[in-house]
Structure 1
């Protein structure tokens, strides 16, 4: 009997890539998406697809159990401003009421624990598509200058500390000053705001939150990120090697090279 894997699908291409890899591995693909977040085209990559309102936790778990899902993964983004409009069912409301903290990581951990209570094992989506992990080193032709490395070293521990408070994954710095911190608005808006304040030559840093469960919500970058950085005249993008998802990497790095943007992927203990 074919094993069915469940995918809790947010926005972007990640859910489709995971579904395609799962199918290639001979797995049945059962996908649950959310209205206003999930690309409808994701349904084309699934054997079974259900579209719910964000917050219908009981129905989602019932859907996976109905289709004999033994493992489930979370893939794709959820718009944080839109997420404030979610409609919790009784199970989701009970879970929310039990939380002392309402940050991303706390909420995702609670959801995963609740899913696993029903005998469905939560796994990392990226393990089905390991080629999306960013390799370490300088990924572009241009490496950061000495001054840019100073800014990266300045911002790296700040980004880690910011993440430890479950605030966001992205930080913008320039000349030893913080220009922007990602909060509810998401990475692209934080990058735009940072450039408005710092002008040309800013450094963008993005990393996983310390202590975050890496089965879900890994930081991600891609072609749209690079376009945003180029448009706003950034100098460097620094990401975490092995723990950042890099979509459309070849095309994105080609664009970065065309515009002299340096992209580096650094180890956890970079200092």
Structure 2
């Protein structure tokens, strides 16, 4: 099949699950971009595929198929958007020769190392990887308290305590979120994701769990930005948690209005925290 000429009006999406890919498609089309989607089976919604101008379904690990499709469609720019269930790496991967060759070159099988390696390979093939917030800066988490409830003195201490612990696990590329209570770490996010971390830590807390989610030091805005939304607050409400503290301007928030309404109903504090240049926190 003949390869189309590369066209800067085309833009690719390497799509996982959730609403982020659909948000991007809508925004990109407002900018008169033709959207070409590589959708992952078992992750990407059919709604995302239906909204695309061209779509190719792949299994996790079919990297050569992804690159060939983008080249056929004339894609020179792409973004990584949406979630991939990380535990699938052990049970539901179908790597092709290109993916296997890349995998064998990666010493640390952690998020940043894997995604940077894929991005470098794509760029060596003439496909530039853009920041995932392209066209979607309005989805960045805002600073300040978003809810009617405001953090009290004890909750502020827990936010500060959780913040520096979360930053440290991020530095180690383990996760982006911790659950704390009374300046005690109850759960650390690893491969299972934020919601399961909240459930695990919240069960240990009994109630009043404080969830802190931050960017990793040196976070690459091209992929794996921290994200929260309505589902996060609903999960926190299930364990009678009290606070969701998220790094403002460095993470994404989905369904903001619905999230705040749910938090107000549950009496949960939601706050966007800013880390000042001197390392102190502006909690709101």
Note whether the superposition's TM-score is higher than 0.5.
Answer: yes
Write the mapping of 1:16-95 to structure 2, written as runs, cut at 5 A: 16-84=22-90, 85-95=92-102
Displacement of 1:2 after TM fit? 7.0
Would you say 1:215 and 2:218 are equivalent positions? no
Q: Which residue of 2 aligns with 1:14?
A: 20
RMSD of aligned C-alpha atoms?
A: 1.1
Distance 2:141 2:183 in 1: 26
1:14-54 CA distance string (max 9 Å, x none): 00110111011100000001111111211121000111011
The TM-score with structure 1 as length reference comes to 0.97
Distance 1:45 1:220 in 2: 23
Q: Which residue of 1 aligns with 2:232?
A: 225
Structure 2 gaps, min length 5: 1-6
Q: Secondary structure at the match of 2:220?
A: coil
Question: Which among 98, 117, 121 is matched to residue 105 of structure 2?
Answer: 98
Displacement of 1:83 after TM fit? 2.8
Distance 1:216 1:203 in 2: 26
The TM-score with structure 2 as length reference comes to 0.93
Work out whether residues 133 and 221 of structure 2, in 8 Å CA contact, stay in contact via their aligned partners in 1: no
Distance 2:138 2:220 in 1: 20
Work out whether residues 207 and 239 of structure 1, in 8 Å CA contact, stay in contact via their aligned partners in 2: yes
Work out whether residues 209 and 240 of structure 2, in 8 Å CA contact, stay in contact via their aligned partners in 1: yes
1:35-74 CA distance string (max 9 Å, x none): 1111121112100011101101111011111101111001
Q: Which residue of 2 aligns with 1:128?
A: 135
Structure 1 gaps, min length 5: none
Question: Which among 145, 152, 157 is matched to residue 152 of structure 2?
Answer: 145
Work out whether residues 2 and 28 of structure 1, in 8 Å CA contact, stay in contact via their aligned partners in 2: no
Would you say 1:5 and 2:42 are equivalent positions? no
